[in-house]
Amino acid sequence: MKRLWPLLALFLFQSCEYATLKYGYYWNPVTILSKAQEAIENRDLGQWQEVLSGKTLCAYGSHEGMANIGQAIKRIDQASIQEPLLVTSKHLERPNYIGYYSYYQETHISRAYDHQGRELLKVTIVCDFGSDELSKALVKAPVSSYKTKSCSITGIKNLEKPLKVPEFCSI
């Protein structure tokens, strides 16, 4: 396994490079999934928490949550991981402040299957596009005009072994 690690690292780097070129920004859906998988494999809780947000960060942003998804990843057929599929895109009527003002959002879904074709994981990724400035001119502006672009995992469903979400995460 130690001999395969440099090859895996090279593959992850190249897929991140390709994804950056394809999407035009680094924190894109493919990069987020790659960083999540890397965090789980390295048991790096800080990196794991960095790619999660909202209720998913609350529910899965712990060693227990990371281990739960890690068990599913061990059973995944790597060839069956779907590239994130864009399911919705919308301009926001009012910008959301998330460290910057988000004016536009895209939601992507990725699914992963085991060797028999059973779905094991469903991952929802939300990408926010915006600016550090609050401006009416940026509401419904072309996507290319937004300078800040980033994604995070906002939903995880481990279909084989669901993690019980604490009540305080639902608030």
Domain regions of the chain by residue span: 4-169
Return the H-helix or E-strand segment holding 44: none
What average pLDDT is seen over the chain? Answer: 85
Q: What is the pTM of this model?
A: 0.83
In a 10 Å sphere around its CB, with 0-12 CB exposed, 13-18 middle and 19+ buried, how is residue 169 labelled?
middle
The DSSP 8-state label assigned to residue 2 in this structure reads: T
What is the pLDDT confidence band of residue 130, given thresholds at 50, 70 and 90?
very high
Q: How many helices (H) and strands (E) does the chain have?
A: 5, 4
Per-residue pLDDT tens digits for 75-111: 887 777 888 999 999 999 999 999 999 999 999 999 9
What is the pLDDT confidence band of residue 22, given thresholds at 50, 70 and 90?
low
